Amino acid sequence: MTPEPFGARLRHAMDTRGPLCVGIDPHASLLTSWGLNDDIAGLERFTRTVVEALADRVAVLKPQSAFFERFGSRGIAVLEKAVAEARSAGALVLMDAKRGDIGSTMGAYAATYLDQDSPLFSDAVTVSPYLGFGSLRPALDAAAVSGAGVFVLALTSNPEGAEVQRATAADGRSLAQLMLDHMAAENAGAAPLGSVGAVVGATLGDAGVDLAINGPLLAPGIGAQGATPADLPGVFGAAVGNVVPSVSRGVLRHGPDASGLREAAARFADEVRDAVSGS
Ligand SMILES: O=C(O)c1cc(=O)[nH]c(=O)n1[C@@H]1O[C@H](COP(=O)(O)O)[C@@H](O)[C@H]1O
């Protein structure tokens, strides 16, 4: 049986749960402020708490792989368990791994995150197209087979990104626009939403690019990096209905109590709803 495409599953989750994505970023400083040790037991407790508090209510949970990898194989084991538990509680899991390599190696990354038989299989994964959009082909193909999604960096939330992403390609488009146009081509004809998403920082002011890619737009940078939900209409314009706003520390700093995490996520969700409906 062909799996339901990620874009359709995400649209449904956004419509029923609201579009918020909460990042699971177990910074050492957060573990400490939660009264946990910066060790594998602390990582396990932190991660389980976030998943139990939020996986039954937010559309997307986005574990940041680096914070698990820093603990080696035991950290990866915690990540595997979190992915499985979050998915079984109804959240879509976006693995924030930001992989990007030559096509043949990209195939191994695709096998890691986008093959249904992999222990790290996720609903979607973040990738970098700056080795050339075509280098992502194995991931795009694997995602299509497994009903997963791929979120491609376009304009990142960090100020250093602009020197690459705003640079002008040979045909006069910005590199970010070139990538977005590739994404639009991948998503052509998909309904209700394509499965290839773009990452566009909420911190950017007016994005200044054409965001009509017929796919989801992940908007990190809300909270700790200074953007707010009220910024979304200005950054995304007419595409704001496809935005998945993403917050990590802005929610996580309200732990360790599940109620604190839930209330913080609900506040962001309310602010997003107000900003998007008023736009
Ligand atoms: O792909 C991402 O999620 C991402 C892209 C981007 O442009 N900027 C960005 O901050 N992120 C990630 O989003 C999260 C932001 O965390 P907070 O600043 O704590 O909300 C981190 O895991 C980043 O790696």
- pLDDT of 278 reads 81
C-beta 220 within 6 A of ligand 1:
yes
Q: Which of 98, 137, 254, 273 is an active site residue?
A: 98
C-beta 249 within 6 A of ligand 1:
yes
C-beta 96 within 6 A of ligand 1:
yes
pLDDT in tens, 164-201: 999 999 999 999 999 999 999 999 999 999 999 999 99
Q: The domain that contains 188 carries what CATH number?
A: 3.20.20.70
Q: Whose CA is nearest to atom 16 of ligand 1?
A: 248
C-beta 64 within 6 A of ligand 1:
yes
Arithmetic mean of pLDDT, 44-65: 98
Structure confidence at residue 276 as a pLDDT band (50, 70, 90): very high
CA distance 111 to 99: 12
Q: Does the annotation mark 98 as catalytic?
A: yes
What is the CA(184)–ligand 1 centre distance, in A? 23
pTM: 0.98
In-domain check, residue 45: yes
- One-letter identity of residue 51: V
Nearest Cα to Cα of residue 272 among 84, 98, 18, 57:
18
8 Å CB contact between 71 and 78 = yes
Structural domains of the chain, count: 1
In-domain check, residue 1: no
**What's 131-146 look like in SS3?**
CCHHHHHHHHHHHHHH
- Which of 246, 251, 252 for mutating ligand 1's site (highest number of atoms within 8 Å of CB)? 246
Sequence length of the chain is 279
ipTM, 2 dp: 0.99
Nearest Cα to Cα of residue 55 among 108, 4, 98, 91:
91
Q: How far is CA 100 from CA 108, 132, 140, 150, 193, in A?
A: 11, 9, 12, 12, 24
CA distance 60 to 62: 6
Between 1-5, 29-33, 131-135, 193-197, the lowest mean confidence (pLDDT) is in: 1-5
**The tokens 């979120």 sit on which residue?**
151
One DSSP character per residue, 26-57 reads --HHHHHHTT--SSHHHHHHHHHHHHHHHTTT
pLDDT in tens, 116-157: 999 999 999 999 999 999 999 999 999 999 999 999 999 999
What is the CA(157)–ligand 1 centre distance, in A? 7
DSSP secondary structure letter of residue 2: P
> What mean pLDDT value characterizes the chain?
97
CA distance 196 to 116: 18
In-domain check, residue 37: yes
- Domain extent, residue 32, equals 6-277
